[in-house]
Amino acid sequence: MKQWPLILSIAKTHLLTKMKSTVTASLGVTFGIGAYITLVSFMTGLNRMLDDLILNQTPHIHLYNEVQPSPEQPLQRSVDFEDDLLQIHSVKPKQGQLKIHNALPILKYLKAEPKVLGATPQLRAQIFYLSGPLDLGGVLYGVDILEEARLSNIGDYIVEGTPEGLANSDNGIILGIGLAQKMSLRMGDRVQVSTPSGGVFPLKIVGIYQSGIADIDNTQSFSNLQTVQRVMGRPSNYITDINIKLHDIGQAENMARTLEHQFDVRARDIREANAQFETGTTIRNLITYAVSITLLIVAGFGIYNILNMLIYEKMNDIAILKATGFSGMDVQNIFMSQALLIGFLGGLMGLLLGFGLSHLIDSLPFETEALPTITTFPVNHNPLYYIIGISFALISTFIAGYLPSAKAKKVDPVRIIRGN
């Protein structure tokens, strides 16, 4: 017979009469699922934070002009030496080749390209920062700061001041926090910058920048593109770099190769620029999911052992049920129902436990000068992890209940009653 209300009623009675075993089995499911959700949420959140720290500061495509020596030197072109063996050493590149030729038309083309979210020009200038007796070498970037803030997370790393403050200043500078500390400078102070040609220009500090990467914070600063062009004595079309953000980062590699051939510039896509970092990210993700899967498998074996013992404790009940007319399939369905009820209730409690622990970790303060934008521990609250958790709870308890209940289905009630 197959009377599901009666079968479920018997399954419920069995669970309630053996409350200790029921609670133990449910807690096994609860802690397994709760630990999985907490671990995978925290570790993937940490990985995502590290990815954002690096990748959000990197354009999808970076255009620049690579300065190289001429492939053929004047001496090699001379007819007087055409039959001689020439060895030329210490060849220096030509001056004035850093800029991207036709940069403004390239920018206009990129801004009209449907695949492009935005493109920003830059002028990268090697300078010295002067303050009293100190002179520190570094890089001054001339940028369109408002467009940079729109396309990247640079605004999150300006710990004092705002991008708008720089945009509204003709002689402003956002100084790296390492530089500011070394030269004992603060907001509103003036710092002098010296160019390779010997010119010295005073700039007012309108912001402090902290990326969390010491090599950047100790050398880099930002100013308006027009300001740096004026400081370096360059025309308004002098641009050394173009940074591009795409709607789809997956198109970066192909588009970079296209732009290289189309405009005769060097184009480096985000994967090329961060190849080593992406390898590290892949390894971290593999470790995260390997540990998570291992945790679920261990929890599954624990659930199986508990349910196995629970069913074998019910052998006398199985004999009575069969003696009163229940078929082997009915007996199996009773114990399968018990297993699924334990999986469902334990899984729900595991979801609540994982949810609570994840949000508890997410609320814990995590403040460090190296990561100014991070105030709490990073946690990834992805609903997929909860779906995986409850699915595993049901599947694992189904398997854990099916194997011993399949044996119970074949039990001979006469042998059990006789005590054999």
Query: 213-227, pLDDT tens digit by residue?
Result: 788 889 999 999 999
* Biggest distance spanned by C-alpha atoms of the chain: 116
pLDDT the model gives residue 164 = 93
Mean pLDDT of all residues in 97-112: 87
Q: Is the model's pLDDT at 370 over the cut of 70? A: no
Q: Please compute, for residue 260, the number of CA atoms within 13 A of its CA located in the half-sphere on the CB side.
A: 13
Of residues 93 and 383, the one with the higher pLDDT is 383
When mean pLDDT is compared across 25-29, 107-111, 171-175, the lowest value belongs to 25-29
Helix (H, G, I), strand (E, B) or coil at 182: helix
Of residues 180 and 87, the one with the higher pLDDT is 180
**Terminal-to-terminal C-alpha distance of the chain:** 27
Q: For residue 184, with 0-12 CB atoms within 10 Å meaning exposed, 13-18 middle and 19 or more buried, which class applies?
A: exposed
pLDDT the model gives residue 330 = 78
pLDDT the model gives residue 110 = 93
CB atoms within 10 A of CB 409: 18
What distances in angstroms separate CA 410 from CA 8, 319, 325, 418, one per listed residue?
20, 11, 14, 16
pLDDT the model gives residue 27 = 84
The answer for residues whose C-beta is within 8 angstroms of residue 356's C-beta and 6 or more apart is none
Q: Is the separation of the CB atoms in 178 and 213 below 8 Å?
A: no
Q: Is the model's pLDDT at 80 over the cut of 60? A: no
**Residue whose structure tokens are 């080749």:** 97
Confidence label for 139 from pLDDT (cuts 50, 70 and 90): very high
Q: From CA 30, how far away is CA 177, in angstroms rounded?
A: 47
Report which listed range, 24-38, 93-107, 113-127, 151-165, is most confident.
Answer: 113-127
Q: Is the separation of the CB atoms in 350 and 34 below 8 Å?
A: yes
Q: Is the model's pLDDT at 11 over the cut of 80? A: no
Q: For residue 189, with 0-12 CB atoms within 10 Å meaning exposed, 13-18 middle and 19 or more buried, which class applies?
A: middle
Average pLDDT, the chain: 82
pLDDT the model gives residue 73 = 57
Phi-psi domain of 102 (left: phi exceeds 0; alpha: psi -120 through 50; beta: other): left
Burial 11-43 (b: 16+ CB within 10 A, else e): beebbeebeebbeebbbbbbbbbbbbbbbbbbb
When mean pLDDT is compared across 81-90, 247-256, 259-268, the lowest value belongs to 81-90
pLDDT the model gives residue 378 = 87
Mean pLDDT of all residues in 46-59: 77
pLDDT the model gives residue 300 = 75
Q: From CA 113, how far away is CA 109, in angstroms rounded?
A: 6
Of residues 255 and 280, the one with the higher pLDDT is 255
Q: From CA 287, how far away is CA 299, in angstroms rounded?
A: 18
pLDDT the model gives residue 222 = 95
pLDDT the model gives residue 1 = 45
The three-state (H, E, C) secondary structure of 338-383, written as one string: HHHHHHHHHHHHHHHHHHHHHHHHHHCECCECCECCCCECCCCCCH
